[in-house]
Structures are given as structure tokens and as C-alpha cells.
Amino acid sequence: MIRKFSSSIVAVSLRYLFQKRIALSIFVCMLLSPALAMAAPIYGQNIVLNGGFESGDYIDNGRGFMELGAGTSYLDNWTITSGSVDWIEGYWTPQEPIKSIDINGSNGGTLLQDLQTEAGFTYGVNFWLAGNPAGGDSLKNLAVELYSPYNQLLYSFDTSGYTLGDMGWTEFNFFFTATGDSTTLVFRSLESGAYGPALDNVSVAATPEPATLFLLGSGLFGLGLIRRRRRV
């Protein structure tokens, strides 16, 4: 009788301590979650404006595109800092829905956008790449650059076998960690002449950190344990 009584007391005590520990972890998660929510960007929300190049004062030149030189402001939310680009509507098939960009106008161009970011958070960059198959070398080279911090990634697209009606749009992505409240995203053609890399549907969105997911997931897991134990 004494052993049975002692075992039951130990079992109850362990159950009580376990539930207290889980409850404490959930309480900490509840305290931290509002702070994380206030500091964190909205995960999955695209922070690129006019990433599909659909918005602006487009004036067709009669050939299905509009050349934009450095310093012009026809294209909303993007800045052309060197050379020129062609704003395409009708010249070739876009990735979607109507317009896209040849990063070479009369020559290689550079376009950029300043993004609002949060220091310490990871962001995913996504874009669609093709190339102008109407001339120049078949291999179109592009530099994608970030400022704050500075990073450069090089991409190539081979236009062999593709046409203006079948561009072969290909999706690319990479990740970076922001170091400040502003990050500049740059697309720069590495080609000379009028036939360059083609760009469409650029997006950048914050992605959850694994530690954050584990913290919040642990709280939900603990809650599930308590709910399950209460049902038993």
C-alpha cells in the first residue's frame, strides 16, 4: 500500500511539473509573439512595386516597345541609372500578363528599385529571365546586385531555339539578409548592343527564420500536448 501511494504521488507530481513547463513555454511564446509581430515584416508580402512592369506612361513606338534612357521616369517605381532599356508591350510574349523589360535598349542598361526592409530578416528574391532572341549573342548575361549589404549574382540565359513568340521564360530566386531599413535591388545587363536579357515579374518577400518557426511551433506543440493530456 505504501509503494502504490508513493508511486501515484510521484506520477501526479511529474505530470504537474510537465504541464507547468509546457504552460511556461507557451506563456513565453505569447509574450514574444506580439513583439516579433511588431518588429517583423509581413511574411510572403511582395515589397517590390510594379514588379511586373505594368504601370507607367507607356508610349508605343509602333514596333511593340518603348526605349527608356537613364533618368527618364515613364516606368513607375523603377529608376534607370545607366544606358537604356526597352519597355516591351507586343514585341514578344511576356511571362505575364502584358509588359516586360529588355535590359538593353540601344545599349546595356541598369535599372533599380529601393526596397523597404527590416534589418536582420531574410528575404527571398524571385524573378523571371529570358533573352531577346532577335539578335546578338545567344547567351545573354545579367548581373543582379544588392546594396546594403553589397552582393552580386551573375545569371545567363541561352536564347538558342527560342523565338519572340516562345521566349522560354525561366524562374530564378535567391535569398539575402537585410542589414538596414532600405535595400537597393539592381538589374544590370552585361551585354552590349540592342539585344539583351529579358526580365519580368520581380518579387521580394520576407521569409520566416527557422528559429522563429521553431519557437512558435513549440508553443503550438505544447498546447497540443496539454490539450491531448486533458482529453485522456
Q: What is the pLDDT of residues 109-154, one digit of tens each?
A: 999 999 999 999 999 999 999 999 999 999 999 999 999 778 999 9
140 and 107 assigned to the same domain: yes
Residue 75 belongs to a domain:
yes
Nine-digit cell string for 222: 505544447
Residue 90 belongs to a domain:
yes
Residue 57 belongs to a domain:
no
189 and 122 assigned to the same domain: yes
Q: Give the number of other Cβ atoms within 10 Å of residue 131's Cβ.
A: 30
Averaged pLDDT, 195-201 = 98
87 and 187 assigned to the same domain: yes
70 and 179 assigned to the same domain: yes
Residue 167 belongs to a domain:
yes
203 and 226 assigned to the same domain: no
119 and 151 assigned to the same domain: yes
Q: Please tell me the predicted confidence (pLDDT) of residue 39.
A: 57
Residue 53 belongs to a domain:
no
179 and 225 assigned to the same domain: no
Global confidence as pTM: 0.76
Residue 49 belongs to a domain:
no
What is the tens place of the pLDDT at every residue in 41-75?
A: 889 999 999 999 999 999 998 999 999 999 999 99
Domains in the chain, number: 2
107 and 175 assigned to the same domain: yes
123 and 21 assigned to the same domain: no
Averaged pLDDT, 163-186 = 97
Range of the domain at 222: 2-42+210-231
Rounded Cα distance between 206 and 57, Å, is 30
Q: Read off the CATH number of the domain in which 127 is found.
A: 2.60.120.260
115 and 28 assigned to the same domain: no
Rounded Cα distance between 164 and 7, Å, is 79
144 and 31 assigned to the same domain: no
Q: For residue 127, which of 146, 147, 106 has the smallest C-alpha distance?
A: 146
Q: How many Cα atoms are found within 13 Å in the side-chain-facing hemisphere of 80?
A: 26
Place of cell 519557437: 215
Residue 185 belongs to a domain:
yes
DSSP, collapsed to helix, strand or coil, labels residue 229 as: helix
Q: Is pLDDT at 19 greater than 80 in this prediction? A: no
Residue 87 belongs to a domain:
yes
